[in-house]
Amino acid sequence: MTEPLDPILRYVDEQRARFVDELVTWCRIPSISSSEAHAADMRRSAEHLRERLSRLGATSTAVIDTRLHPAVYAEWIVDPKKPTLLVYGHHDVQPSEPLSEWRSPPFEPAVRDGRLWGRGVVDDKGQVYIHVNAVEAFVRTKGAPPINVKMIVEGEEEIGSVNLDGLLRSHADRLQADFVVVSDTAMFGRGIPSLCVGLRGIAYFDVTVHALSMDAHSGSFGGGIANPANALARMIASLHDESGRITVPGFYDRVRELTAAERAEIASLPFDEREWLASVGGHAAVGERGYSTLERIWTRPTLDVNGLDSGWQGEGSKTIIPARAKAKLSCRLVPDQDPTEIAALVEKHLVAIAPPGCRVEVRYLHGGRPYLAPTEHPVYEIAKRAFSRAFGARTVFIREGGSIPFVRTIADRTGKPCLLMGFGQPDENAHAPNEWLDLENYHLGIKSAVYLYDELSRA
Ligand SMILES: [Zn+2]
């Protein structure tokens, strides 16, 4: 351990309780971005943070207005020759309903069993304060952080970061940095420092098979005309082969195969498949042959039915040939698949396999690109080392099966390596009642940030 960090780490230990109190105070503000009624709270939350940051010797702070809810910006420019780290977080939170399911009120954060319970404690106010406290530790013991630090804390993450792209564009100069760190994800499990290095993208479709202008009598017409429900069922069934691969021509053309090292890293994770299945009442893990469950959900593309609708769904029987059949389909995409390209391939294929008497209409509803971190960049080794020093355990690379649109936005806008260094737990109830923050993680998270800033200053 490097000597010079000792006073800083000691400061983090000494301030442990106060750092929790500060977080509690901020989390009392119900900054719910999805509700008009909380617009004033959103502003109060932003002002509260800006105020705290300006007391920590930031060289500049600002509340930045967007069309909806304000973001907060602060910077500590210590030396233009030193590297600059941009920290991203968000200060808006999810709604707290249903209130009756909370064991303590969502906006009166309470400590129980080594955890802080309340809305926003981990998603994402606690993770923002991990960085704020790390900066404080440097400022109070050394006068300033060892690198240039910039923070952008938006207020619209929970409603899809609707103005983030514009914000990053209109403040591009100010937000220049060498590295970006995003602390808004979860660790693989307790005590396992994890860097998320991959996210799946998405392409979403609305599919309609048209056959008749009206529902027809199944006795008078059945067997003599096309049934769009039968047709759609056959079409959907044909979209996967026996080995679980998707049959759309060209679908896998851009899929990056995993390297032996990536497969070994994933295989090394303590994944409890039974627990994962049990979390949704599942009975068996199934999917594309030749891949483990984690490989399937993190690194392989999918094509899934999200909804199906046709014909009579009411009580009892009704003997009809439905006029049309509909499905909602979506693909989870992996590097380097492109949603618009996949949309074109899927549409072309569905139209091509429509049986006689049926016309297929495909509407592409929305898409998002997958993300793969440039892990060969030296900053990933630095981050691994920093994270491991704080937690005393090996840092693992994980991925996420879902999409986090703002990560792509930031990665694309800044063009810099984006470290997803999250301090949440997989079961912390983010977005659900009884959200909690592991206070040991909060404490070690602050130390991780201290180590990260220090390591980056010597990079
Ligand atoms: Zn979040």
CATH architecture of 201-255+301-366: 2-Layer Sandwich (3.30)
Q: How confident is the model at residue 426 (pLDDT cuts 50, 70, 90)?
A: confident
- Note the pLDDT tens digit of each residue in 161-211: 889 999 999 999 999 999 999 999 999 999 999 999 999 999 999 999 999
- Phi, then psi, of 312 in degrees rounded to 5: -85, 125
pLDDT, residue 160, reads: 87
Ligand 1 centroid vs 357 CA: distance in angstroms? Answer: 48
Ligand 1 centroid vs 269 CA: distance in angstroms? Answer: 24
Q: How confident is the model at residue 75 (pLDDT cuts 50, 70, 90)?
A: very high
List residues bridging with 242 in a β-sheet.
none
Q: How confident is the model at residue 274 (pLDDT cuts 50, 70, 90)?
A: very high
- Note the pLDDT tens digit of each residue in 6-30: 999 999 999 999 999 999 999 999 9
Cα distance between residue 334 and residue 184, in whole Å: 21
Cα distance between residue 133 and residue 16, in whole Å: 10
Q: How confident is the model at residue 3 (pLDDT cuts 50, 70, 90)?
A: low
DSSP code of residue 367: E
Residue holding tokens 């990933």? Answer: 380
Q: What is the mean pLDDT of residues 217-237?
A: 97
User: Looking at the predicted structure, is the pLDDT value of residue 2 above 70?
Assistant: no
Q: Give alpha helix (H) positions in 280-428.
A: 293-299, 339-352, 378-391, 405-414
Angle between helices 16-27 and 125-142 (to 10 degrees): 140
- Note the pLDDT tens digit of each residue in 428-437: 998 999 999 9
Ligand 1 centroid vs 346 CA: distance in angstroms? Answer: 32
User: Looking at the predicted structure, is the pLDDT value of residue 321 above 90?
Assistant: yes
- Could you state, in order of their start, the residue ranges of all structural domains in the chain? 3-198+370-457, 201-255+301-366
Question: What sign has the CA pseudo-torsion 308, 310, 312, 314?
Answer: positive
Ligand 1 centroid vs 422 CA: distance in angstroms? Answer: 10
Question: How is domain 3-198+370-457 classified at the CATH fold level?
Answer: Aminopeptidase (3.40.630)
Got the DSSP string for 234-249?
HHHHTTB-TTS-B-ST
List residues bridging with 332 in a β-sheet.
202
Ligand 1 centroid vs 328 CA: distance in angstroms? Answer: 27
What residues contact residue 42 under an 8 Å CB cut-off, 6+ apart?
31, 32, 33, 69, 70, 91, 92, 155
pLDDT, residue 405, reads: 78
Question: Which helix (H) or strand (E) covers residue 62, if one does?
Answer: strand 60-64
Ligand 1 centroid vs 436 CA: distance in angstroms? Answer: 13
Q: How confident is the model at residue 421 (pLDDT cuts 50, 70, 90)?
A: very high
pLDDT, residue 250, reads: 98
- Note the pLDDT tens digit of each residue in 347-358: 999 999 999 999
User: Looking at the predicted structure, is the pLDDT value of residue 1 above 70?
Assistant: no
Q: Which contacts qualify for 222-227: CB closer than 8 Å, 24 or more apart?
A: 222/321, 225/321, 225/357, 226/355, 226/356, 226/357, 226/358, 227/321, 227/322
- Note the pLDDT tens digit of each residue in 91-136: 999 999 999 999 999 999 999 999 999 999 999 999 999 999 999 9
Q: Which contacts qualify for 11-17: CB closer than 8 Å, 24 or more apart?
A: 11/137, 11/140, 11/141, 12/133, 12/134, 12/137, 12/443, 12/446, 12/447, 12/450, 15/133, 15/136, 15/137, 16/443
pLDDT, residue 409, reads: 86
